[in-house]
Structure 1
Amino acid sequence: MLTTILAFIAAILILVSLHEFGHYLVARLCGVKVVRFSVGFGKPFFKKKRGDTEWCLAPIPLGGYVKMVDTREGSVAEEDLPYAFDKQHPAKRIAIVVAGPLTNLILAVLLYGLSFSLGVTELRPFVGTVEPASIAARAGFVPGDKILSVNGKPVSDWADARNEMVLNLESSEVKVAVQTASGQTAARNINIAGTPEADQVIKQQGYIGLMPWKITNTLGEVVAGSPADKAGLKAGDTLLAADGRAIHSWSEWAVLFRNSPGKKLNIEYSRDGQVAETQVRPNSEELPDGALIGKVGVAPSDDKAWHETITHHYTPSIGEAFQMGWNKTVNYSVMTVKFFGKLVTGQASLSHISGPVTIADIAGKTAAHGFQSYVEFLALVSISLGIMNLLPVPVLDGGHLVYYAAEWIRGKPLSERIQAIGLRFGLAVMLLMMMVAFFNDITRLFG
């Protein structure tokens, strides 16, 4: 929990403070007087005046802000009027406003470049496991498939393949070209657009029953105090048969345990080359619909040989790393813009929107996983922050860009009435998105 909180706070302070610093830097270059630069919100507990600007630290670490001289926000001394933000040419105001989101996108390139320069581990787009009766199984996926393209777009790694499938499955049929284990080309079509199943996939963070890993019948984990632990099973044991019937795949074992609540099972397994037997009685667990399922408290291990096959690790040169960082930032930016477009046209579910709880959870998990994972998480959130702020919604930077561009074209500002209507609309949109984000967070947390 402490790691999650600290990782989340650090992410917000870094990304938002640099966003605001972009506004600050270009404002100073454009001759605008900046009164305050605050990291955090609330009453500052630290202040230091340097030149015309007061630098502050405030107790609520959920962002920051830059306060410029502006006649719309109160009286301004006559000698400061030439340096007021609202008295600048629209081109200067556009530059100041766009500097924040642009800083986030540049930061993403730098963060990705830094991470990639330390080494890159890619998962090749191979299917290792297909969950029985899942969406992927119905689409025809089988272990050993290599994903070549999604809706005609070539993919080079597992993350790209997964993102392309998830982004499109709500609005259209997803056509996936694969190369089978025998080397032949085949098609796997996912068609769940417009069904409740598509929304459920989003709630499950894009899971359709596909995994790149191959899992074996060898136990990777045995939960202490579980039925398996009480039966004497240990990590490293390989399950062979149940009630005299040989079982060859983990999915069959999972189905057997799930369908045997409270039932005694005679298990045959091997340990250190020796075959042994034991009896396991799965615990009964009631689902919300009243159905009972069995659980024995075990998890499988993955196939190490297959792991080596699908994992590609290399260390690019510095130049290559930052070129890759640029490409990754561009690709994710385009994907984010497409997502918002689908959201507006109703082709994407609101379940995709995440709030601070989900972001904090991912921040904690990536920080626990290592420096590179956390840096790449920061880069991805920085892209989202940059693109979202460029949306043409009043109260966001993109909304101000629309106002100033219109003023530049017309030769005069939009009327106060139109700007007020836009402000109310923007606040309503942002309030709605915040409510949806919190609802989705709570659903994922307890769901």
Structure 2
Amino acid sequence: MEFLGGIESFGSATLGYLLPFLFVLTTVVFFHELGHFLVARWCGVGVRVFSIGFGPELIGFNDRRGTRWRISAIPLGGYVKFHGDEGEASTPDRPALARMSEAERSTTFAAKTVWQRAAIVAAGPIANFILAIAIFAALFTLYGRETTSARVDTIVPGTAAERAGFQPGDTVVAIDGAPVSSFNDLQRIVSGSAGSDLAITVERQGGTVTLHATPELREVRDRFGNVHRIAQLGLSRTNDPSSIVVERFDLPQAIVLGAEETWFVVARTGVYLRDVLIGRESADQLGGPIRVAQVSGQVATLGFTALIHLAAVLSVSIGLINLFPIPMLDGGHLLFYLIEAVRGRPLSERAQDIGFRIGLAAVLMLMLFTTWNDIIHLSSL
């Protein structure tokens, strides 16, 4: 009976992680590929396959234009295969192109101008950013935004805040000249400023004082036991209910805030990657599919709203990663098209082939590295 109970518990836990993971990833991948698909159709490119996932087809159908819409067995991405493509990576099938009539060739991806090809490729990441903005805007419209006064309640001993001279009751009004209207604003600015000297203006006893403090990276454990390294000053907010406000927004305001939230995720990711490159941060915070599945399952326990918010954040991350100038990714294709536009002709087939091989190796190494990080992360819980 204990054995059967263990199997049931394992199955429930697996479904608890797998279903939210599939929902989040499928949503993000679908909109990414839909961006490629819609702009390709607009540019007159024939689309042979629209696939969510890789490998053998599980289920699918053909639309009236001959596109095969399919769900495949390996749910770790997706692709759009255009007319004249050799495979999922949008490499041209040159022997097939040579056999086509002029009319057939005109509907292939390879036959389009460099600007049309660039637009088709860029449409995937752009669709991810649009999806994120739409989700954030919907959440701001439907649920509003809870904010807390930037009033300091306590100072953690031995931290940058104590050394800078913060006092309970101080209210932060600006950091490096940027206005601060809530404790959320304060946290966001500080979290991306590890090791940077900040000029912080506070209201104190009817006047203003400027303090200088340098946020320090500290390990913080969330409610699920996951450890994150976040730059902090060592301040805690007030718990006074009167300081908590729920702001409501109409749709135009929500769209602007959604764009700002999307940019914040992009900027925060960029700061983290910069810090990894200069040695200020460790790369162990980079996660792969296992981590995404784990976080999806954990966030799903907080409700559908939290899961949708995670989908928006993941959509920004996937859009941003795909813009990296690495062959095999959308950014690598865009780099080749930029070189083609400058030179007036594309790179040689050999140069492109070498680039794609290097890109494939880089992507595989990144996948292995993030998977290893995921395993180490799980073993530490």
Q: After superposition, what is the alpha-carbon deviation per residue over 1:269-313, rounded to whole angstroms, capped at 9, x for unaligned? A: xxxxxxxxxxxxxxxxxxxxxxxxxxxxxxxxxx5xx2x143210
Aligned-partner SS, 2:301: helix
Query: Given the alignment, which residue of 142, 145, 160 partners 1:120?
Result: 145
TM, length-normalised to structure 2: 0.80
- Paired with 2:237 and 2:18, the residues of 1 have a C-alpha distance of 31
Partner of 2:319: 386
2:72 to 58, 78, 87: 58
With over 3 angstroms needed to count, the CA separation of the structure-2 counterparts of 1:191 and 1:164, relative to structure 1, is: closer
Q: CA deviation at 1:89?
A: 1.0
Of the three residues 159, 174, 181, the one matched with 1:149 is 174
Q: Is the 8 A contact 2:190 2:231 kept in 1?
A: no
Aligned pairs (5 A) from 1:170-209? 170=195, 172-180=196-204, 184-190=208-214, 192=216, 198=217, 204-206=228-230, 208=232
1:380 and 1:309 mapped to 2: Cα distance?
Answer: 30
Structure 2 partner of 1:11: 24
Check conservation: 1:180, 1:186, Cα contact below 8 A.
no
Q: 1:168 Cα shift?
A: 2.3
**RMSD, aligned α-carbons:** 2.9
Amino acid corresponding to residue 60 of structure 1 in structure 2: I
Indicate the residue corresponding to 2:9 in structure 1. Answer: none
Partner of 1:315: 248
Q: How far is the alpha carbon of 1:152 from its aligned partner?
A: 3.9
Are positions 1:28 and 2:63 aligned together?
Answer: no
Question: What residue in structure 1 maps to residue 5 of structure 2?
Answer: none
Deviation of 1:42 (Å) = 2.0
Q: Relative to structure 2, which stretch is displaced further, 325-334 or 53-62?
A: 325-334
What is aligned with 1:87?
Answer: 111
Q: Which residue of 2 aligns with 1:164?
A: 189
Q: Is the 8 A contact 1:42 1:59 kept in 2?
A: yes
Structure 1 position 98 matched with structure 2 position 98: no
Contact 1:35–1:67 (CA under 8 A) maintained in structure 2: yes
- Residue 79 of structure 2 aligns to a residue in which SS? strand
Correspondences of 1:341-356 after superposition (within 5 Å): 341-346=274-279, 348-356=281-289
Structure 1 SS opposite 2:192: helix
| One-letter identity of the residue aligned with 1:164 | I
Q: Which amino acid aligns with 1:167?
A: G
How many aligned residue pairs are there?
Answer: 350
1:369 is matched with which residue: 294, 302, 314? 302
Structure-2 residue corresponding to 1:78: 100
- Shift, 1:17, TM fit: 1.1
Q: CA deviation at 1:428?
A: 3.7
Cα offset, 1:81, TM superposition: 2.0
> Structure 1 residue 209: deviation in Å?
7.0
Q: Is the 8 A contact 2:214 2:233 kept in 1?
A: no
The DSSP-based 3-state class of the residue aligned with 1:169 is: coil
Paired with 1:366 and 1:144, the residues of 2 have a C-alpha distance of 34
Contact 1:41 1:61 in 2 (8 A): yes
Equivalent-residue separation in structure 2 for 1:371 and 1:181 (angstroms): 43
- What's the CA shift for 1:411? 1.6
CA distance in 2, matches of 1:126, 1:73: 63
TM-fit CA distance, 1:98: 0.3
Distance 2:304 2:16 in 1: 13
Aligned to 1:281: none
| 1:85 partner SS | coil
| Structure 1: unaligned runs, 5 residues or longer | 193-197, 215-302
Is the alpha carbon distance of 1:444 and 1:340 closer, same or farther for their aligned partners in structure 2, counting shifts above 3 Å? Answer: same
Task: Check conservation: 2:190, 2:232, Cα contact below 8 A.
Answer: no
Q: After TM superposition, list the pairs within 5 Å mapping 1:167-316 onto structure 2.
A: 167-170=192-195, 172-180=196-204, 184-190=208-214, 192=216, 198=217, 204-206=228-230, 208=232, 210=234, 212-213=236-237, 303=239, 306=240, 308-316=241-249
> Does structure 1 retain, via aligned residues, the 8 Å contact 2:160–2:213?
no
Range with greater deviation from structure 2 (37-46 or 370-379): 370-379
Residue identity in the other structure for 2:308: V
TM-score, normalised to structure 1's length?
0.69
Any conservation in 2 of the 1:389–1:398 contact (CA below 8 Å)? yes
Alpha-carbon distance change, 354 to 145 in structure 1, aligned in 2, over 3 angstroms: farther
Q: Deviations over 1:99-144 (max 9, x none)?
A: 0000011111111110001122123334444444445545544544
Q: Give a deviation string over 1:337-387, Cα, whole Å, max 9, x none.
A: 444445445554424423333333332333322333222222222111112
Preserved contact between residue 213 and residue 233 of structure 2 (Cα < 8 Å): no
Q: What CA distance in whole angstroms lies between the structure 2 residues aligned with 1:61 and 1:394?
A: 22
| SS of equivalent residue, structure 1 residue 32 | coil
Three-state SS of the structure 2 residue aligned to 1:392 is: coil
Q: What secondary structure sits across from 2:51 in the alignment?
A: strand
Distance 2:307 2:170 in 1: 31
Distance 1:442 1:174 in 2: 37
Q: Judge which range, 32-41 or 76-85, deviates more.
A: 76-85
- Of structures 1 and 2, the larger Rg is shown by 1
Matched, 1:426 2:359: yes
CA distance in 1, matches of 2:254, 2:132: 13
Q: Is the 8 A contact 1:129 1:143 kept in 2?
A: yes
CA distance change for structure 1 residues 440 and 134 in 2, over 3 Å: closer, same or farther?
farther
Residue identity opposite 2:46 in structure 1? K
Partners of 1:94 and 1:404 within 8 A in 2: yes
Using the alignment, how far apart are the partners of 1:344 and 1:444 within structure 2? 21
For 1:387 and 1:189, the matched residues in 2 are separated by 31
- Structure 2 residue matching 1:100: 3-state secondary structure: helix
How far apart, CA to CA, are the structure 2 residues paired with 1:429 and 1:137? 44
Answer with 138-147 or 84-93: which moved more: 138-147
In structure 2, list runs of 5 or more residues that go unmatched. 1-12, 87-91, 222-226
Q: Which position in structure 1 is the counterpart of 2:132?
A: 108
Conserved 8 A contact 1:350-1:436: no
- Which residue of 2 is the match for residue 407 of structure 1? 340
